[in-house]
Amino acid sequence: MNRSENRTALITGGGKGVGAGVVRVLASRGIRCCINCNTHPDMAVETLRRVEESGGEGFVCQADITDPEQLNSMVQTVIDRWGRLDILVNNAAMQPNLFIDQYDAEKLRRLWNINIGGYFHATRACLPYLKQSNCGRIVNISSIHGKRPTGFDAGYAMTKGAIRMFTRELALELYEHNITVNAVDLGGCEIEFKTGNAPFTSSMPAECLNPAITRLRLVQPNEVGKLVWFLCSPDASDITGDGIRLDRGFVLI
């Protein structure tokens, strides 16, 4: 535990899966963590228990990231509790695994409100305090699906591609404030379940599937956490507007 740390972080969707892995690693480095959740508060409480058991500090805050008022209230809770906010990890997302003819207007709107709107509104809510930090960091969890077509869920892939451009634009806009903005392009990760328990289906022709894919080990949430920690460290102060792929070479196959 690095007791010299005096930074705080807000991790959206931090109660389970990738977000929980990020929380555990950051907290183990001495960073105080606001663990955001929405649909699974019980899992967020378990994540907090593990953090505190290991000597870390944090609290759970249930908020819908599509609602700017709830986001503003959550950020204010962080400020009231710790007086500062240094790191935002935009992670909360949904992956419906739908073909284009399975979407309707409402499903597409909800997807974009979470996967893009949530990142946008969370950043706006945190920005006044990130500008006050001497080590402001924003890390956007994206996906290799924003770079490589895989024959399923064009809607989800579009949101991940949009996150990459959002990251680049923010990096330029916030450069003068010494806030770095980077993305993690994540491949398959071993988590409890996808929100909504969406089944995986693909229209990719069988002859296009490389059998080597089945031999790849899934990325672990703590591995994502370690990369996020590095991007939030002083050693990464010259890295901004970048997208770092963490997929065990999936896109190479």
pLDDT (tens digit, 9 = 90+) per residue, 34-64? Answer: 999 998 899 999 999 999 999 999 999 999 9
Do the Cβ atoms of 186 and 147 come closer than 8 Å? no
**Residue 159 counted as domain residue:** yes
DSSP string spanning 1-62? --TT---EEEETTTTSHHHHHHHHHHHHTT-EEEEEESS-HHHHHHHHHHHHHTT--EEEEE
**Active-site entry in 103, 119, 129, 156:** 156
CATH number of 131's domain: 3.40.50.720
**Residue 1 counted as domain residue:** no
Q: At what angle do helices 68-82 and 118-130 cross, to 10 degrees?
A: 30
- The CA distance from 93 to 215, in Å, is 27
Query: Is pLDDT of 86 > 70?
Result: yes
pLDDT at site 251: 65
**Residue 3 counted as domain residue:** no
- Residues of the domain holding 183: 8-252
**Residue 213 counted as domain residue:** yes
Do the Cβ atoms of 166 and 115 come closer than 8 Å? no
- The CA distance from 207 to 171, in Å, is 40
Is the whole model's pTM more than 0.75, yes or no?
yes
**Residue 148 counted as domain residue:** yes
Number of structural domains (the chain) is: 1
Residue 68 to residues 49, 65, 75, 149, 209, Cα–Cα distance (Å): 28, 7, 10, 32, 41
> Is residue 156 flagged as an active site residue?
yes
**Residue 181 counted as domain residue:** yes
Q: Tokens in use for 218?
A: 């899934």
**Residue 2 counted as domain residue:** no
pLDDT at site 39: 85
Query: Is pLDDT of 212 > 60?
Result: no
- The CA distance from 196 to 176, in Å, is 40
**Residue 215 counted as domain residue:** yes
